[in-house]
C-alpha cells in the first residue's frame, strides 16, 4: 500500500461525507462514486471522483482503477464486480506505457459480507446456522404459491408477524406488519413480486445497537473485534429518529451481553471495517435484527462521544490496517449523549426551527453539535442530525433537550 492511500468509496451520501471529514486531516484521499453534487463530493474536491451509480459495473471498475482500496457507505451496490476487482483485478495502463496490466484492489468489507447482507433472509439464515440468536423466519414463495405461503407463515408465527422484502430495503420501506388475515391481499399488492420472507414479530421492550470495528490481516484472517458502547435506538414509522447513550434503564449485564453478541456476529463476517449490529431486547434476551456493513446512524454520536475514534475514523483505521494497538477499547468521554435525526418535514423549511433551537442550545451550553448533510429536504428524509452530550444522566440530558425533542416530533407530526 502506498504512503498516502487513495480510498475508493461507493456512495457519497451523509455517511460518505462524514468519512471524508474524518479522512481529510489525515491526508487520506477519498475518491467517490456517486452523483456529481452528492453530499460527500460537496466537501471533498479532487479529480479522482467518478460520476455515476454505485450499481454500474463499468463505473465501479473506473473507480477501482484510480484507488488502492475500495469501501462502501451502502450495501446495495453491484457486488459481482467487486468480487472480480478483488480477485482478478481491474485493467490499468502498464507502468511502461505498453498496453495494460491487471491491478487487484482489496475490497473492505469483503464482497462476501456485502453479498450476504444484501439478502436479509440469507443473512439471518447464516446467523441462525452459526448459533447466533435471531427471530424465527421463513422464506415466502413467489408467484402462485405466495398467498398459501403467507398463510403458512401466519400459522407458524401467529399475528402480528412481519413480511419483509429480502433485498434492497432500508428505513423500513420493505416491511409490512401483517395484523390479521384481512391484511393478506393488501400485503401481496403492496410488496409486489420481490423476494419476500416472513419473520416472527418480536415484542421487544427496546432496540439496541452496537458498532463493531473488525480488523483482519492481509490474508483475510480475523485479528480482532472492538465494540463501541451500546446505544438505544428509537424507530418511528420504521425509521431511526433518536439514539440514546447509555440505553435507559438497562442493566450493565444486558449491555455486556449485547456487546458480546455483536462481537460474535461480526467475527463471523469477512473483511475490515465497521459494522452496525441492530438488536432487539426481549426480557433479558438479545436477538439480532440485522447488520449494516458500514458506518451507521446509530454510530453518529461516536464523533463527539469517542473523539479521535469515531466510527468514521475506525472505518479508515481498520481498512488501512492502521489500528494503533490490539489492546485498546472505545471509551466514551461523557456519561451521556443523545442523537436526534433531522428529518425533512412537510415544507422545505419545516426543519429550520429545529436547527435554530440546536444552534441556540449550543450557544448557551456548548455541548451540542449540529451536522447538516447538504441534502435537499423531502418529507421523512434524513438531512442532518444533532448530538448533545453532558455530565448528567441520559434521563436528565433528555429533559434538558426536551424542547428539541418536542420540536422534532412536531415536524414529523
Ligand atoms: P434499516 O436498514 O434502515 O435499519 P430496514 O428497512 O432494513 O431498516 P428493519 O431493520 O428490518 O428494516 O426493520 C425496521 C424496524 O422495524 C426495526 O428497527 C423495528 O423497529 C421494526 N421491526 C423489524 N422487524 C421486526 C420484528 N420481527 N418484530 C418487531 N419489530 C420489527
Ligand atoms: Mg436494513
Ligand atoms: Mg434496520
- Is residue 230 helix, strand or coil? coil
pLDDT (tens digit per residue) in 90-114: 999 999 989 999 999 999 999 999 9
Q: pLDDT confidence of 2, banded at 50, 70, 90?
A: very low
Instruction: Determine contact, residues 177/160, Cβ cutoff 8 Å.
Output: yes
ipTM above 0.90, yes or no: yes
Cis-peptide into 246, omega within 30 deg: yes
Rounded-to-integer distance, Cα 133 and Cα 127, Å: 7
Q: Which is more confidently placed, 193 or 275?
A: 275
207 in ligand 1 pocket by Cβ < 6 Å? yes
Q: Which residues are CB-contacts of 84 (< 8 A; sequence separation ≥ 6)?
A: 90
Instruction: Find all residues with CB under 8 Å of 319, minimum gap 6, and list them.
Output: 7, 69, 71, 108, 272, 273
Burial annotation 274-296 (CB, 10 A radius, 16+ → b, else e): bbbbbbbbeeeebbbbbbbbbbb
Q: Residue whose CA is closest, atom 11 of ligand 1?
A: 172
Which residue's CA is minimally distant from atom 27 of ligand 1? 201
Distance 171 CA to ligand 2 centre (A): 7
- Whether the CB-CB separation of 142 and 157 falls below 8 Å is answered with no
Ligand 1 pocket, residue 175 CB under 6 Å:
yes
- The count of C-alpha atoms lying within 13 angstroms of the C-alpha of 189, restricted to the half-sphere facing its C-beta, is 5
Smallest Cα–Cα separation from 246: which of 280, 213, 208, 293? 208
Q: Render pLDDT for 136-161 as a digit per residue (tens, 0 to 9).
A: 999 999 988 999 999 999 999 999 99
Ligand 1, atom 16: nearest CA belongs to which residue? 238
Distance CA 62, CA 361 (A): 45
Amino acid at each position: 500500500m502506498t504512503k498516502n492511500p487513495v480510498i475508493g468509496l461507493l456512495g457519497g451520501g451523509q455517511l460518505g461525507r462524514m468519512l471524508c471529514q474524518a479522512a481529510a486531516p489525515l491526508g487520506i484521499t477519498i475518491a467517490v462514486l456517486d452523483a456529481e453534487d452528492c453530499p460527500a463530493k460537496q466537501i471533498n474536491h479532487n479529480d479522482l471522483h467518478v460520476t455515476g451509480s454505485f450499481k454500474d459495473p463499468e463505473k465501479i471498475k473506473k473507480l477501482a482503477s484510480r484507488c488502492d482500496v475500495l469501501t462502501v457507505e451502502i450495501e446495495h451496490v453491484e457486488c459481482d464486480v467487486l468480487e472480480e476487482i478483488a480477485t482478478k483485478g481491474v485493467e490499468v495502463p502498464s507502468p511502461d506505457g505498453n498496453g495494460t496490466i491487471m491491478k487487484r484492489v482489496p475490497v473492505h468489507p469483503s464482497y462476501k459480507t456485502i453479498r450476504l447482507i444484501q439478502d436479509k433472509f440469507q443473512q439471518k439464515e447464516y446467523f441462525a446456522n452459526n448459533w447466533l440468536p435471531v427471530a424465527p423466519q421463513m422464506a415466502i414463495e413467489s408467484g402462485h404459491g405466495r398467498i398459501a405461503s403467507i398463510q403458512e407463515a401466519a400459522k407458524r408465527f401467529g399475528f402480528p408477524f412481519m413480511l419483509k422484502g429480502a433485498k434492497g430495503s432500508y428505513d423500513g420501506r420493505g416491511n409490512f406488519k401483517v395484523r390479521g388475515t384481512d391484511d393478506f391481499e393488501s400485503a401481496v399488492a403492496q410488496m409486489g413480486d420481490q423476494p419476500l420472507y416472513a419473520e416472527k414479530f418480536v415484542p421487544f421492550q427496546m432496540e439496541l445497537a452496537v458498532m463493531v470495528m473488525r480488523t483482519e490481516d492481509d490474508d483475510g484472517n480475523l485479528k480482532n473485534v472492538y465494540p463501541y458502547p451500546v446505544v438505544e435506538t428509537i424507530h418511528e414509522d420504521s425509521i431511526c429518529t433518536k439514539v440514546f447513550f447509555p440505553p435507559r434503564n438497562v442493566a450493565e449485564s444486558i449491555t455486556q451481553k449485547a456487546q458480546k453478541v455483536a462481537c460474535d456476529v461480526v467475527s463471523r463476517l469477512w473483511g475490515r471495517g465497521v459494522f452496525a449490529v441492530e438488536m432487539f431486547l426481549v426480557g433479558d434476551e438479545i436477538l439480532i435484527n440485522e447488520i449494516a456493513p458500514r458506518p451507521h446512524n446509530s454510530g453518529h454520536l461516536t464523533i463527539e462521544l469517542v473523539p479521535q475514534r469515531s466510527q468514521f475514523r475506525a472505518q479508515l483505521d481498520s481498512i488501512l490496517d492502521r489500528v494503533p494497538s490490539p489492546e485498546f477499547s472505545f471509551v466514551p468521554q461523557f456519561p451521556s449523549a443523545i442523537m436526534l435525526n433531522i428529518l425533512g418535514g412537510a415544507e422545505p423549511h419545516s426543519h429550520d426551527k429545529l436547527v435554530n433551537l440546536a444552534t441556540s442550545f449550543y450557544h448557551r451550553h456548548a455541548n451540542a453539535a449540529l451536522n447538516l448533510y447538504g441534502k435537499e429536504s423531502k418529507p421523512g428524509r434524513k438531512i442532518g442530525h444533532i448530538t448533545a452530550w453532558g455530565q448528567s444522566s441520559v434521563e436528565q440530558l433528555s429533559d434538558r433537550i426536551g424542547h428539541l425533542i418536542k420540536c422534532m416530533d412536531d415536524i414529523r407530526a
